[in-house]
A and B are shown apart, each in its own frame.
Chain A
Amino acid sequence: MIARAMWSRRNALRAVAGAGAVLPWLPPVGSRAHGSAPPQRLLLVHFAHGVAADRWRPVAGDSWVPGETLQPLLPWADRVTQIVGLANHAGRAQIGDIHNIAMGTLTTSTGLATDQGAGGHYLAGGPSFDRVIAEQLAADEDASPHTSLHFGVRTQGFAMSAAAKEQPLRAEDDPGAAFERVFGELALTPTERATRVEQRAVARAWADTRLAALGTTLPKSDEPQIVSHRQALAVVAARDAREIDLPMGCTLPTSPPPFDEPRAPANEEIPALVDAVDELVVGALACDLSRVVTLQWGSSGNDGLRHVWQGIDADYHSVAHLANGADPAAHEQHAMATRWYVERFAGLVERLAAIPEGDGTVLDHTTCVLLSGVSIVHDLRDLPIVVVGGGVPGGRVLDAADASTTALWRGLAAHLGVDLGTFGAPQFDAAPLLLS
């Protein structure tokens, strides 16, 4: 059993500088007790454009035997649950741009509030399940510094998550900016950090006082804005006041390499960007900087991305339209492209499994979900989904029998000890899938 020793943010600077893991000569000053139970986390990884169905489906049988595309997960077979037969019924009930609908309704299980046409121009109709879970987990006294983190590669505005109706949480596609936001402050000295905290507290106190004063003079109809703003300030203030204690086993990533146009990269740059963002995802989970992390690969739209690094010159989106039909070459290319993403996902799983945490590893405490918002030819039924780690029993296939996506979100929430409450469009609500 490996004890969960704590590491203060004071050590973070040395970690950023490349010191790596344990610095035993620095006294642990973390606020969490030794041996406290590791937290439960969620990693949601999305890839665009669905799958070549016959290569994705598991081999029929009692236990899980992966189809060709999922072979990279074979080393984790006893921890993999493949879910079949889950459908995005909320998306299917809506008319509009299918790419927007597929992405914008996937994790909210309700129709879009606004669909302004192709290219990710939509607003979600409600909060996404990952954010609902994140806000509940963030209410714990031992919560991470960030309620949720949303990383991406070339997502082009296709938001998978939403804080609330019409409040999308878009992925940060620039690894440099993401690094600065998530890890930058960990490099501050205690004095610098104290100054920052104090400056923020002054600004928040002013804002709160002014809101309170305005609340007495503005019409009653303005009250919801005033109240919610004050509540949000209080939540941020409470989190800001906490000490940031980094687990002993975590290694902070180094600053990612610069990219000329990280939000609109050339095709050739995609693998390097995926590498850079993977580092941030692993660092964020291993250092417990957030209990909920999402990662989006690609935009889900008709964006002309080509997997040139795999020798595929046709654009991925068009290939997805032609696969699963009468074009065997496109079908093969689609399977190749999907397998590349599965390999990357397997790489993440492997890295999380190599980081000790508590009496196990970070993977043991992180439920990793790989999924796409469409299945074949942009269909919203039988969505491709696998779940790995987090203590979810593996080696099995779960048939959702055409249940709504809500079934999975409720199942994941229950596994993480969270009750989603009223969630999604009521007509598409469903009993939770039994993951645990």
Chain B
Amino acid sequence: MACSSELAPPSFDDDDDDPAEIVEGLRAPLRRLSAAQYENTVRAVFGVALPEAVHIVDGLPLDDSSGWFLGNAAPLGEAAVVQYQVTAERIAQAVVVHRGALAACLDDAAITDVCVRAVAEDLAARAWRRPISVPEADALVTAFGEGSVEEGLLRLVTLVLQSPDFLYRVERGEPDLLGGDDVRLTGHEIAARLSYLLWGGPPDAALTADAEAGRLHDPGYRAKVVARLLDDPRAAAGLAAMHRAWLGVGHLSTLVKDRNLFPTFSDRLGAELDDELAGFVDHVLRGRDGTLSSLLTANVTVAKTAVTSWYGDDVVEVVSTPEGTLPEGASLLVLDPTRRAGVLTLMSTMAAHAKTDRSDPVRRGSIVRTRLLCEPLAAPPPDVPVLPEQVAADATLRERLAAHTDDPSCAGCHRLIDPLGFAFEAYDAMGQFRVEDGQGATIDSTGEIVGTDVAGPVAGPVALAAALADSDQVARCYVGQWLRWALGRELEEDDEELLAALEIGFVDNGGHVPTLLAELVASEAFVRRSIE
């Protein structure tokens, strides 16, 4: 599905702009695997020995965030340690039952020392994303013990999964000639950075082989690896995770709406909306031209049955696609280009950024202002009254909001937020397109972009999306979001040189996201770590 042949190699007019020339390592906190990364890793390690019916994520500690993005660098507490213990035991119990799928020799009547050692070494190496030393292998075999295979395997699996080598993205690095306050990451650590960035999961055998052969220290080779990883279906999960966090829609799968207003809303719909967001991002970035412009303007979506029915007559065509190119049960839909344009106008995004019973222009406008334009907003003053439900009996939401924000202390921010949010008034609380509000008043979705490189009035959400797609500010902001995602922290002064180089490259390359990722990964900073 993806288009490795379309991936242009990074090119730079001026060596000063070349991310590969930036050799200073960046600060990288010690991070735990996210819940999704944990699940992806154990499923990769155990394969069919860990049945899909075994729930993983539910029992894990919740991820902690750094800004909008995954952080997981906060210190662990006792409750989290117990959650890791219980989850490891649940996985181990399932693997013990299906141990023959892990290694056939585990089903033998008399298990041999050779079998135990081979299983222990292979299991730990894949779970810990690095080779195992002989003393480590000896210790794992000892832990397996001389008792029953069931007890031994239970001990081995629970030990491997509670080891910091599994739970953390350990990056000790290795000294190199540059010295100073940096270390150069090992090949295996680079492999893990690559796979968790693009797949949200562990390195595969090919990436591990690249690491062992030392090829990942070559920036040009890393750029080629990006093409391969993006060509792999596992990239869909990695891209979706980043865009969920960026757009603040991580709660879609547990979305709640007022069932008095939306009687056919079901818990299943939230999961399908989450699938829609993931499917759209995957389709645009790996199946189409891979540009930010398409991400913001393509009048298509990838939806399953329930979401498709909610789109109603927005759907102008159901596109026939080769089998296996879309998630099971999903269709590629072409949507009315006067109603829908890009990721911001998807039902999933609009439903996520709304109240349970009505639209939320302030929230929708804030998302654009902060996450697409990278303009921080001051926190609202304390004791702001809630939005009055009734200014006048027939007041529209726009009018009620105006009454709310006339206060000079509020106006400073709301004049930047609300005109953006009003452009999304064409979508109700579920993200359905509408021409009237709940009281029968005609929807006014005119808005305005204030104070950016594409400032000016916009006649609704499609026009707003087009303007944002033309904005260099949005493009540069998007690059910064990827860097935040990759580093797992807010940006700092030391990041500015790399960020600037990536921004220039991204704009010069027409906003081609795979090329941006190749440039990021090819940078020397990507394979180094500050140890100050």
Partner of B65, one of A92, A123, A226, A302: A123
Which residues on B sit within 8 Å (CB–CB) of A92?
A: 382-383
User: Cβ of B98 < 8 Å from any Cβ of A?
Assistant: no
Which residues on A sit within 8 Å (CB–CB) of B78?
A: 135, 147, 163, 232, 235-236
Given known A-B contacts A116-B248, A202-B155, A222-B30, A303 and B256 have beta carbons under 8 A apart: yes
User: Cβ of A200 < 8 Å from any Cβ of B?
Assistant: yes
What are the interface flags for B415-450 relative to A under an 8 Å C-beta threshold, 1 for contact and 0 otherwise?
A: 000000000000000000000000000000000000
| A225 and B532 contact, CB distance less than 8 A | no
> Restricting to A92-139, which residues have a CB under 8 Å from any CB of B?
92-95, 98, 114, 116-121, 123, 135
| A117 and B352 contact, CB distance less than 8 A | yes
Name A237's closest neighbour in chain B (CB-CB).
B81
Name B352's closest neighbour in chain A (CB-CB).
A117
| A199 and B151 contact, CB distance less than 8 A | yes
Chain A: minimal CB distance from B411 (Å): 15
What are the interface flags for B56-93 relative to A under an 8 Å C-beta threshold, 1 for contact and 0 otherwise?
A: 00000110110000000111111111100110100000
Most A Cβ at <10 Å: residue of B172, B256, B363, B531: B256
| B386 and A98 contact, CB distance less than 8 A | yes
User: Cβ of A241 < 8 Å from any Cβ of B?
Assistant: no
User: Cβ of B163 < 8 Å from any Cβ of A?
Assistant: yes
Chain A: minimal CB distance from B447 (Å): 21
Chain B: minimal CB distance from A292 (Å): 12
User: Cβ of A3 < 8 Å from any Cβ of B?
Assistant: no
| B357 and A302 contact, CB distance less than 8 A | yes
Chain B: minimal CB distance from A113 (Å): 9
Chain B: minimal CB distance from A345 (Å): 26
Partner of A204, one of B27, B162, B380, B530: B162
User: Cβ of A233 < 8 Å from any Cβ of B?
Assistant: yes
| B355 and A118 contact, CB distance less than 8 A | yes
Cα A277 to Cα B260 in complex, Å, equals 28
> Restricting to A162-220, which residues have a CB under 8 Å from any CB of B?
163-170, 181, 195, 199-200, 202-204, 206-207, 210-211, 214, 217-219
Partner of B259, one of A165, A233, A304: A304
Name A135's closest neighbour in chain B (CB-CB).
B78
Which residues on A sit within 8 Å (CB–CB) of B357?
A: 302
Given known A-B contacts A117-B353, A200-B158, A315-B260, A210 and B164 have beta carbons under 8 A apart: yes
Which residues on B sit within 8 Å (CB–CB) of A318?
A: 258, 260
User: Cβ of A221 < 8 Å from any Cβ of B?
Assistant: yes
What are the interface flags for B290-328 relative to A under an 8 Å C-beta threshold, 1 for contact and 0 otherwise?
A: 000000000000000000000000000000000000000
Name B172's closest neighbour in chain A (CB-CB).
A217
| A116 and B384 contact, CB distance less than 8 A | no
Name B262's closest neighbour in chain A (CB-CB).
A304
Given known A-B contacts A199-B155, A207-B163, A219-B532, A166 and B64 have beta carbons under 8 A apart: yes
User: Cβ of B53 < 8 Å from any Cβ of A?
Assistant: no
User: Cβ of B6 < 8 Å from any Cβ of A?
Assistant: no
Given known A-B contacts A206-B159, A206-B162, A207-B162, A199 and B251 have beta carbons under 8 A apart: no
| A181 and B86 contact, CB distance less than 8 A | yes
| A199 and B248 contact, CB distance less than 8 A | no
| B65 and A166 contact, CB distance less than 8 A | yes
Cα A228 to Cα B77 in complex, Å, equals 7
| A166 and B77 contact, CB distance less than 8 A | no
Cα A169 to Cα B380 in complex, Å, equals 28
Which residues on B sit within 8 Å (CB–CB) of A166?
A: 62, 64-65, 74
| B61 and A167 contact, CB distance less than 8 A | yes
Name A164's closest neighbour in chain B (CB-CB).
B77
Which residues on B sit within 8 Å (CB–CB) of A301?
A: 256, 356
Name B384's closest neighbour in chain A (CB-CB).
A95
Chain B: minimal CB distance from A394 (Å): 33
Name A235's closest neighbour in chain B (CB-CB).
B78
Given known A-B contacts A119-B256, A203-B162, A304-B259, A169 and B79 have beta carbons under 8 A apart: yes
User: Cβ of B143 < 8 Å from any Cβ of A?
Assistant: yes
Cα A121 to Cα B63 in complex, Å, equals 12
| B85 and A200 contact, CB distance less than 8 A | yes
User: Cβ of A264 < 8 Å from any Cβ of B?
Assistant: yes
Given known A-B contacts A95-B380, A117-B352, A228 and B76 have beta carbons under 8 A apart: yes
What are the interface flags for A289-319 relative to B under an 8 Å C-beta threshold, 1 for contact and 0 otherwise?
A: 0000000000101111000000000010010
User: Cβ of B337 < 8 Å from any Cβ of A?
Assistant: no
**Which range holds the interface residue count of chain A?**
35 or more
What are the interface flags for B151-167 relative to A under an 8 Å C-beta threshold, 1 for contact and 0 otherwise?
A: 10011001100111100
| B163 and A120 contact, CB distance less than 8 A | no
Given known A-B contacts A167-B61, A207-B163, A214 and B79 have beta carbons under 8 A apart: no
User: Cβ of A157 < 8 Å from any Cβ of B?
Assistant: yes
User: Cβ of A224 < 8 Å from any Cβ of B?
Assistant: yes
Cα A3 to Cα B38 in complex, Å, equals 49
Which residues on B sit within 8 Å (CB–CB) of A299?
A: 256
Which residues on A sit within 8 Å (CB–CB) of B27?
A: 221
| A167 and B531 contact, CB distance less than 8 A | no
Name B158's closest neighbour in chain A (CB-CB).
A203
Which residues on A sit within 8 Å (CB–CB) of B382?
A: 92-95
Partner of A210, one of B80, B165, B251, B353: B165
> Restricting to B486-532, which residues have a CB under 8 Å from any CB of A?
529-532
| B143 and A195 contact, CB distance less than 8 A | no
| B143 and A202 contact, CB distance less than 8 A | yes
Which residues on A sit within 8 Å (CB–CB) of B185?
A: none
Which residues on A sit within 8 Å (CB–CB) of B168?
A: 225
Cα A166 to Cα B163 in complex, Å, equals 23
Partner of A203, one of B62, B76, B88: B88
Partner of A225, one of B30, B250, B259: B30
Chain A: minimal CB distance from B318 (Å): 30
Which residues on B sit within 8 Å (CB–CB) of A135?
A: 78
User: Cβ of A401 < 8 Å from any Cβ of B?
Assistant: no
| A227 and B159 contact, CB distance less than 8 A | no
| B158 and A119 contact, CB distance less than 8 A | no
User: Cβ of A242 < 8 Å from any Cβ of B?
Assistant: no
Partner of B81, one of A118, A195, A236: A236
> Restricting to B255-311, which residues have a CB under 8 Å from any CB of A?
255-260, 267
Beyond A117-B352, A206-B139, list 20 extra A-B contacts (CB 8 Å): A95-B380, A98-B386, A117-B363, A118-B356, A123-B62, A164-B74, A167-B80, A199-B151, A200-B85, A206-B143, A210-B164, A214-B164, A217-B172, A224-B75, A225-B74, A225-B76, A229-B75, A233-B81, A302-B356, A318-B260
| Pairs across A and B, CB under 8 Å, 7 listed | A92-B382, A120-B254, A121-B251, A203-B163, A206-B139, A214-B170, A228-B76
Interface residues of B (CB under 8 A from A): 27, 29-30, 61-62, 64-65, 73-82, 85-86, 88, 139, 143, 151, 154-155, 158-159, 162-165, 168, 170, 172, 248, 250-251, 254-260, 267, 352-353, 355-357, 363, 379-380, 382-384, 386, 529-532
Which 9 A/B pairs are nearest by Cβ-Cβ distance?
A: A228-B75, A304-B259, A302-B356, A222-B30, A95-B380, A121-B251, A219-B531, A232-B81, A93-B382
